[in-house]
Chain A
Amino acid sequence: MSNFVSVETFDRRALIRGLAIALTAVGSMDLDAAQQVHTETAAEKARGNYKVKAFEPNEFKTLERLAELIVPKDEKSGSARDAGAPEFIDTLSSQNEKLADIFHGGLAWLDSEMRKRYQTTFVGAKPAQQTEMLDVLVAAERAEAARRGEELVYQKSSLYKDFSGYTVQRANELGPGIVFFDWVRKMTVDAFYTSPIGVKDLNYLGNRAYSKYTVPQESMDYAMKRSPFA
């Protein structure tokens, strides 16, 4: 459960409950107001005076830099760092030793690999060196997947049922890096897209209430025109 039991949370709950009662009483109404409150309080929460709980300063800085690289800022929206990904990973790691070990170990492996390659830590390296390292890991990951005859697809595969990530089956000196990068990437991506910034980036328009459900003709026409049924 959330550690935040703030006044905002209480008000938000009261608002939703009030709206639910209103729905029962009079039929339906839009929940735009509720959505607005949600988005604003969540955005305030995303990055503020956050106190790091599970990581040393260098570790947390590395997570911040990784967040900027994995989901960077672009013309549409901010980065995963802006969306609070390092804080998300820190919060959960502070609650779970196993998760903390995955990140402590993975971050240490990354710095040691960076020293071998560039004689500096990940945070201390040049941006080109940082992305070069990540490119090496992604290439190794793809080689590993190809070796196992597995396509990289949207579908949840039997191998990832519990989201526990890769188990590298063949001796591979980059194995620990592949496993760690999978962890930091999936949690960074999760933190970004579940944040108000990420929801806006994707332009998800739901979680509202209507008295009547309609599908815009404009969207229907767009897809039909581009389909084999045009």
Chain B
Amino acid sequence: MPQNPRNQDTYDAVVVGSGAGGGTAVQVLIEKGLKVALLEAGPMLDPRTEFKEHKWPSDYDHRGAEEGGAQYFGKGKPFGFFSTTSGGWQLEGEPYTVGEGSQFQWFRSRILGGRTNHYGRMSFRFAEYDFKPHDKDGLGTNWPISYQDIAPYYDKAEEFIGVCGTQENVASCPDGKFHTAPPPKVHEALIKKACDKLGIICIANRRAIITKALNGRAPCHYCGQCGRGCQTASAYSSAQVQVFPAMKSGRLKIFDLAMVREVLMDGNGKATGILFIDKKTRTEQIIRAKTVILAASACESTRILLNSKTKEFPNGIGNGSGLLGRFLMDTVGFGLSGYVPAMEGMPHYDTDGYGGAHLFMPWWLWDQHKKLDFPRGYHIEIGGGYGMPGVGSYHGAARRYGYGADMKKQIRDGYGAAIAFAGRGEMIPNDHSYCEIDPNVVDRWGIPVLKFHFKWSDHEWRQARHMEKTFADIITTMGGRVSGLSAAQREADGISVPGTIIHEVGGARMGTSAKNSVLNGYCQSHEVKNLFVMDGASFVSNPDKNPTLTINALAWRACDYMAEELRKGNV
């Protein structure tokens, strides 16, 4: 039992996690006048001092290689020194384990706003067919909700966080409420020409970046550094866009450095609050609330539920189905780069733009799967342009050209002529991919850790080979050459390591009954009515669309439902 339960207040809701799901929950519930406690396992965030926007490598003696050249030893910050990441693939004192024969990497952010501080901000709606995948090909499971259920919340989420894009009427990627999208860069215009020729749809990207002022946020100023955090909050992050404004209400209390161990129950099937370890004092603390919302990330929320055991729930709260931890998914990733001589010697210009590609390719063969040897689609993301030179930018070129005047000239001439493609595809949930509690290991807070099991099936491997062929076709159609993969590399890098696309979802999926799922269509526990999971854990499938926008929309919808149920006295 708690050593020092000092928090005597009772809240309408306690929200665990401050990323896309938790940030949205806080925003919506505070707007409704509720009193909310928000728990974050990392520290508070101060964008004015912590974001490295507009800095140059030469502003630092280490040029971005970090103290002692940590980046050279693979020990620096993931995604580089300038990134806003806080956390990483391995956190000191907070391990996870991986089952024999499996590979899995789990990226965790520990800071207010979580991974929304640095994520790619690709914001695609799921298609109508994405909610009924089993109807389409007999694989996987249907969602208990349809596109029509979530569409109004996609509208709300897009209008509030701000997403730019264009109206295109593409069935695999429904249109939304968009700010004006910026024009394509030169390499993107060339790629579009190649795609036109190949019958691949190539349209304006859809990213959670605003191009006109919104709720006191300035429009994008096109420095292209969204991954470093945005001082003007022109790029969405839950901390800046949802949590900071909610703090002004006086009804939000934030507990930072709060590592949640379990959901507390009253013995009558109702959750009473949360037990967490205060990392500053290493003491257990309790927060009492009328409703409990887990939004700690798919796997962290699953872990909390698995670790919350009572007499009535010996296998974890709300786990009557035994499916908690099951149907874990990541996105299928594969990348290929190319070199395009047409751009050699081009008059240089500022290609930073709005921080990422201005175009992308949604899945264009959604009605042709009978002719393909894999069942689900992927979209394509684009890289290229004159990037800010950084540590590691030219290691490959230096090796290729040796050293000296020739190497210098080759790097200069080739600068900006390289392009890259990244495929992001749908994985079908399978019985070999899940997480469970490791019976032998606890973290430094005494909390049992997760053990991961994961396996790609032939569906995913064949999809990745289709990506490889498609990318090579686009590159050669542009008159470019593939910056090839050798056979050895293809074996090692032919498909992304599970978890590394950081789209891990599932684990507490929603469904039509307590037998086939953990949650209902409102992200509410079938078995514990005042318990909700508002992150990627609820996902039934993992379409090729990046999950964050759908997490925003599902959380918003769940909060509307929850507040109404609370008002009616049903939870």
The residue that B394 contacts in the complex, of A161, A189, A227, with Cβ under 8 A, is: A189
Residue B231 is within 8 A (CB to CB) of chain A in the complex: yes
> Is A182 interfacial (CB 8 A cutoff)?
yes
Partner among B183, B342, B350, B493 whose Cβ is within 8 Å of the Cβ of A223: B342
Q: Is the CB of A72 within 8 A of B74?
A: no
What residues of chain B have their CB less than 8 Å away from a CB belonging to chain A? 48, 53-54, 56-65, 67-75, 182-187, 189-190, 193-194, 213, 216-219, 221-225, 231-232, 337, 339-343, 345-354, 386-400, 402-405, 407-409, 411-412, 414-415, 418, 477-479, 483-489, 492-493
A220 to B190, CA, bound (A): 9
- Structural contact, A91 and B404, CB atoms closer than 8 A: no
For A65, the chain B residues whose CB sits under 8 A away are none
Q: Which residues of the other chain, B, contact A131 by a CB distance below 8 angstroms? A: 404
On whether the beta carbons of B182 and A69 are closer than 8 Å, the reply is no
Contact of B58 among A186, A194, A202, A222 (CB under 8 A): A194
Interface pair A206/B350, CB less than 8 Å apart:
yes
Q: Establish whether residues A191 and B63, one from each chain, have CB atoms under 8 Å apart when the complex forms.
A: yes
Q: Is A134's CB within 8 Å of the partner chain B?
A: yes
Q: Do A151 and B183 contact each other (CB < 8 Å), given the known contacts A95-B67, A99-B68?
A: no
A193 with B218, Cβ < 8 A, contacts A76-B412, A203-B348 known:
no
A169-211, CB < 8 A from B: 182, 185-187, 189-191, 193-196, 198-199, 201-211
Q: Contact at B72–A163, with CB atoms within 8 Å?
A: yes
Encoded as 1 (CB less than 8 Å from any B CB) or 0, chain A from 88 to 116 comes to 10011001101100000000000000000
Q: Does A216 contact B393, Cβ atoms closer than 8 Å?
A: no
Chain B neighbourhood of A227, CB < 8 A:
190, 193, 340, 342, 478-479
A23–B210 Cα gap in the complex (Å)? Answer: 14
A70 contacts the other chain (CB 8 A):
yes
Answer yes or no: A20 CB below 8 A from chain B CBs: yes
For B401, the closest partner residue in chain A by CB is A152
The 3 closest A-B pairs by CB, nearest first: A162-B74, A96-B68, A194-B57
Contacts A42-B58, A190-B65, A206-B351 given; indicate if A24 touches B221 (C-beta within 8 A).
no
Tell me the bound Cα distance from A20 to B49 in angstroms.
Answer: 12
Using known A-B contacts A74-B408, A186-B395, A210-B222, determine if residue A27 contacts B67 with beta carbons closer than 8 Å: no
Instruction: Give Cα A4–Cα B182 distance, bound, in whole angstroms.
Output: 38
Closest-by-CB residue of A relative to B72 is A163
Considering only CB atoms and an 8 Å cut-off, how many residues of chain A contact the other chain?
94
A7 at the interface (CB under 8 A from B): no
Query: Does the CB pair B218–A141 fall under 8 Å?
Result: no
User: Can you name the residue of chain B whose Cβ is closest to the Cβ of A134?
Assistant: B403
Binary contact readout A133-146 vs B (1 if CB under 8 angstroms, 0 otherwise): 01100100100010
How far does the Cβ of A99 sit from chain B's closest Cβ, in whole Å?
Answer: 5
Complex Cα distance, B403 from A104, in Å, reads: 21
**Could you list some 17 contacts between A and B, CB below 8 A?**
A23-B218, A72-B408, A92-B62, A96-B70, A164-B74, A185-B403, A194-B57, A194-B391, A199-B389, A203-B348, A203-B386, A204-B387, A206-B387, A213-B354, A215-B183, A223-B187, A227-B340
Quick check: is A219 within 8 A (CB to CB) of the other chain? yes
Given contacts A211-B221, A215-B189, A219-B347, 10 further A-B contacts (CB under 8 A): A4-B61, A99-B69, A145-B399, A155-B396, A163-B73, A203-B415, A215-B184, A216-B349, A223-B189, A223-B190
Complex-state Cα separation, A38 to B479, whole angstroms: 38
The answer to whether A193 and B394 touch across the interface, beta carbons within 8 angstroms, is yes
- List A contacts of B414 (CB < 8 A): 154
How far does the alpha carbon of A157 sit from the alpha carbon of B402 in the complex, in Å? 17
How far apart are B51's CB and chain A's nearest CB, in angstroms? 9
User: Which single residue of chain B is at the shortest CB-CB distance from A76?
Assistant: B412
A61 at the interface (CB under 8 A from B): no
Set A204, A207, A228: member contacting B479, Cβ < 8 A: A228
- Pick the contact of A23 from B58, B221, B225, B492 — CB < 8 Å? B221
* Cβ A158 vs Cβ B493 within 8 A: yes
Q: Are A149 and B488 in contact (CB under 8 A)?
A: yes
Given known A-B contacts A154-B396, A154-B397, A213 and B182 have beta carbons under 8 A apart = yes
Inter-chain contact B399/A152, CB cutoff 8 Å: yes
Provide the residues of chain B in CB contact with A150, threshold 8 Å.
486, 488-489
Contact status B349-A219, CB under 8 Å: yes
Find out whether the CB atom of A189 lies under 8 angstroms from the CB atom of B58. no
**Cβ distance A129 to chain B, nearest Cβ, rounded Å:** 15
Q: Are B386 and A155 in contact (CB under 8 A)?
A: no
A-chain residues with CB within 8 Å of residue B232 when the two chains form the complex: 20, 23-24
Known contacts A134-B403, A193-B393; decide if A157 and B489 are in contact (CB<8 Å): yes
* Complex Cα–Cα for A213 and B477 (A): 28
**Quick check: B349 and A91 within 8 Å, CB to CB?**
no
Instruction: Say yes or no for A28: interface residue by CB 8 A criterion.
Output: yes
The CB with the most chain B CB atoms within 10 A, among A91, A148, A213, is that of A213
Beta-carbon contact of B58 and A196 below 8 Å: yes
**Which listed residue (A31, A46, A205, A226) contacts B342, Cβ 8 A?**
A226
Decide: B54 and A16 in contact? CB cutoff 8 A: yes
Q: Does A224 contact B (CB under 8 A)?
A: yes
Residues of B within 8 A of A135 (CB): 402
Say whether A71 faces chain B, with CB atoms less than 8 Å apart: yes
Question: How far is the CB of A139 from the nearest CB of chain B, in Å?
Answer: 9
Query: In the complex the two chains form, what is the Cα distance from A105 to B351 in whole Å?
Result: 42
Q: Contact check, A223 vs B343: say whether CB atoms are below 8 A apart.
A: yes
Within the complex, which residue of A72, A154, A164 is in contact with B405, where a contact is CB–CB below 8 Å?
A72
Which of chain B's residues have a CB closer than 8 A to the CB of A12?
59
* Interface: A123 (CB within 8 A): no
- Complex-state Cα separation, A155 to B218, whole angstroms: 37
A206-B388 contact, Cβ under 8 Å, with A195-B58, A213-B183, A228-B477: yes
Q: Which of B61, B71, B388 has the most CB of A within 10 A?
A: B61
Residues from chain B with Cβ under 8 Å of A95 in the complex: 67-69
Kindly identify which residue among A71, A190, A204, A206 contacts B63, using a CB–CB cutoff of 8 Å: A190
Report Cα–Cα, A4/B63, bound state, in Å. 12
Chain B residues with Cβ below 8 Å from A49 are: none
Q: Contacts A163-B395, A206-B350, A216-B349; is A2 near B54 (CB within 8 Å)?
A: no
Contact A28/B219 with A155-B483, A206-B350, A207-B388 known, Cβ cut-off 8 Å: yes
CA distance A220 to B192 in the complex (A): 13
Known: A155-B337, A195-B58. A201 touches B412 (CB 8 A): yes
A222 to chain B, nearest CB (A): 5
B347 and A164 within 8 A (CB): no
Chain A residues whose CB sits within 8 angstroms of the CB of B485 once the complex forms: 155
